[in-house]
Chains A and B, each alone.
Chain A
Amino acid sequence: MSQFATLRDIRDAVQSGARSAVDVCTEALARIEAHDGTLNAFNTVTRDQALAQAAAVDAHPNRASLPLAGVPVALKDNLCTLGVRTTASSKILEHFVPPYDATTVAKLVAAGAVAVGKTNCDEFAMGSSNENSAFGPARNPWATDRIPGGSSGGSAVAVAAGMTPLSLGSDTGGSIRQPAALCGLVGLKPTYGRVSRYGLLAFASSLDQIGPFTRTVEDAALALQVLAGHDPADATSAPEPVPDYAAALTGHAKGLRIGVPRALVSDGVDAAVSKAFNEALDAYREAGATLVDIELPYASAAIPVYYLVATAEASSNLARYDGVRYGFRAPAEGGPGTQDDLRAMYGRSRELGFGHEVKRRIMLGTYVLSAGYYDAYYLKAQRVRTLIRRDYEHAFEQVDVVAMPTSPTPAFKIGERTSDPLQMYLADIFTVSANLAGLPAISLPCGFTADSLPIGLQLTGRMFDETTLLSAAHAYERQTAWWKAQPTL
């Protein structure tokens, strides 16, 4: 079986006994060892624990009942893992060892998945390139001088490089979909509330959502099946019933109505991305789908709204990192034998513990929440957020899914945008509105540039209608072979 085997292939082989979970795990660990020196996808590799989990799968009395039997999974390093350090790629949590597992992690392992390690990401999931990591950038397997996207860059790299067939990321403004697009993968951001966030280090609580990276849409459906559902430990998780996602994958697009916000996608999009996007729409039309021009008049305001709302929430969420209960505490400024006062300790611990982008967002968020500016920025942004939600509600009266490119450009070079945060933020133009509206969205491969850089197609669906979303994505995937392409390492 190739290292680029799908989740489904591996699961089936382990369930049937054709392969042992330990064998699969050993191969994944070897692949990580061979390539992670270059790619830097992992902050921590949990070799011993992974082999023990795999052995437990092999010893399971009914392996065939495990929906992810023996499937190696890489976990973004902002998901709490019992006894395994969880850093969020930040110096402030460099030595943090959680006393509990995130619900998603516990569910995967209970389903037979084998956790091989914690993946690199932008610090506290803040970024679109994985360059804001205290542990150095992850590299795109398709071109190692380029970014893999972010913030869940390492999770994308792990799957794209054939290290694991599945990884988890978190998506606050595109942090699963954009790296999936830039690495040639399927990346799914489920509906807000679909998947428990218990144990996810919070960035922007009204936007954050956990989801899978996979090579195929079917694999995404199989992963979501395990991840989805209400969790009493997360009050924002929804009690909506969980349908059979894989059963909905018919491979047909006949009768599907696809909304295309032409005005939004006509501007500032790389020519190769635009071409691939239009060809994907043609493929849908040929498969019997109907394309409908739609308007999302407020979507162009999504970036400013996002950066006002997300930074405000981040400044509040990150107040907990104060050098008292966990994380880094700065030594006293006066040296050994002296003591800072409490406020100085807070200030210095956060100064030395957080990186530039995190500080920039804390500053911006603190400002927009401060007296005198709250109404003008934060409250105003929340009102425009309502208008963006309504845009989609109106669109979904006419269409089943909305199509856009995932990212306006393919992967850019490491270092190319680091000096201009605003330019970096614009990478999220097509992804942030799904978070603001709470909607499920998926990115899937739809082509390559002349330089062999992957391009992603994004579909956005109705609240809790991952079924239609996955089915629509699957219908396109079935007609194309983009997902089969592999980088040369």
Chain B
Amino acid sequence: MLAFGMPATFSRSQIEAIAALAHLRLDEAEIELYARQLGEILEYANQVQNIDTTGVPPTASIGARHDADRADVVHTSLDRASALANAPDANVDAGLFKVPRVIG
């Protein structure tokens, strides 16, 4: 586990756990590289921990303060063939994206 203010390093298993969360496979060289680099970047980023933010609300977005609702009116959208045109594997006739088998 990472402790603030400590030199941050990531273990191999930590990197693998993060990669799994991101659905990202990494090769051996990448695991080693990211274990070091993520640690270095986070060590640098840790300086935000020293800033007093008591009572300061978070900014999630510079949201436009306006009503973004639209009228509930049916309108055309992408046709099915266009929507499927970029799929690596699709059954255009059936209107389906195809994926590898999920259940054995």
Contact = CB atoms under 8 A, between A and B. Distances in A.
Interface of A: 95-97, 99-100, 192-193, 205-206, 232, 235-239, 298, 301, 303-305, 307-308, 315, 319, 322-329, 332, 339-348, 350-351, 354, 356, 359-360, 362-364, 366-367, 370, 373, 376-377, 379-387, 389, 421-422, 425, 436-438, 463
Contact of A387 (B40, B41, B53, B70): B53
A268 to B, nearest CB: 14
B15 interface: yes
Determine the main DSSP class of A at the interface with B: helix
B6 interface: no
Interface residues of B, number: 53
Contact of A364 (B41, B60, B78, B87): B41
B8 to A, nearest CB: 11
Contacts of A436: 59
B59 A364 contact: no
Contacts of B62: 192-193, 206, 389, 437-438, 463
A347 B64 contact: no
B56 A350 contact: no
A37 to B, nearest CB: 29
Given A327-B86, A363-B24, A386-B57, A422 B100 contact: no
Contacts of A236: 61, 63-64, 68
B94 interface: no
B47 interface: yes
A166 to B, nearest CB: 26
Contacts of A100: 78
B13 interface: no
A232 B87 contact: no
Nearest to A370: B21
A324 B99 contact: yes
A325 B21 CA distance: 20
Given A239-B66, A325-B87, A370-B18, A383 B58 contact: yes
Interface of B: 2, 4, 15, 18-19, 21-27, 30, 33-34, 37-38, 40-42, 44-49, 51, 53, 56-64, 66, 68, 70, 78, 82-83, 85-89, 97, 99-102
Contacts of A421: 37, 41
B25 A364 contact: no
Contact of B60 (A206, A303, A339, A340): A206
A16 B34 CA distance: 58
B64 A238 contact: yes
Nearest to A421: B37
Contacts, number: 171
Contacts of B68: 235-236
Contacts of B44: 303-304, 422
A462 B44 CA distance: 30
A402 B38 CA distance: 33
A363 B101 contact: no
Contacts of B58: 379, 382-383, 385-386
Contacts of B48: 301, 304-305, 308, 377, 380-381, 384
A324 B87 contact: yes
A351 B22 CA distance: 11
Contact of B86 (A325, A343, A362): A325
Given A323-B88, A376-B49, A421-B41, A350 B61 contact: no
A350 B23 contact: yes
B102 A342 contact: yes
14 contacts: A97-B85, A303-B44, A304-B45, A319-B22, A325-B87, A340-B100, A341-B100, A350-B22, A351-B27, A363-B24, A364-B42, A379-B58, A380-B53, A387-B56
Given A326-B86, A339-B101, A351-B24, A386 B47 contact: no
A99 B18 contact: no
Contacts of B2: 373
Most buried by A among B38, B48, B86: B48
Given A235-B68, A347-B25, A380 B41 contact: no
Given A206-B62, A347-B24, A379-B58, A329 B45 contact: no
Contacts of A327: 86, 88
Closest 4 CB pairs of A and B: A438-B62, A382-B58, A329-B88, A326-B86
Nearest to B82: A99
Nearest to B26: A351
B24 A382 contact: no
Given A192-B62, A206-B61, A327-B88, 11 more contacts: A99-B78, A205-B61, A206-B60, A238-B66, A324-B99, A341-B101, A342-B102, A351-B25, A356-B33, A386-B57, A422-B44
Contacts of B33: 356
A323 B23 CA distance: 11
B70 to A, nearest CB: 6
A324 B22 contact: no
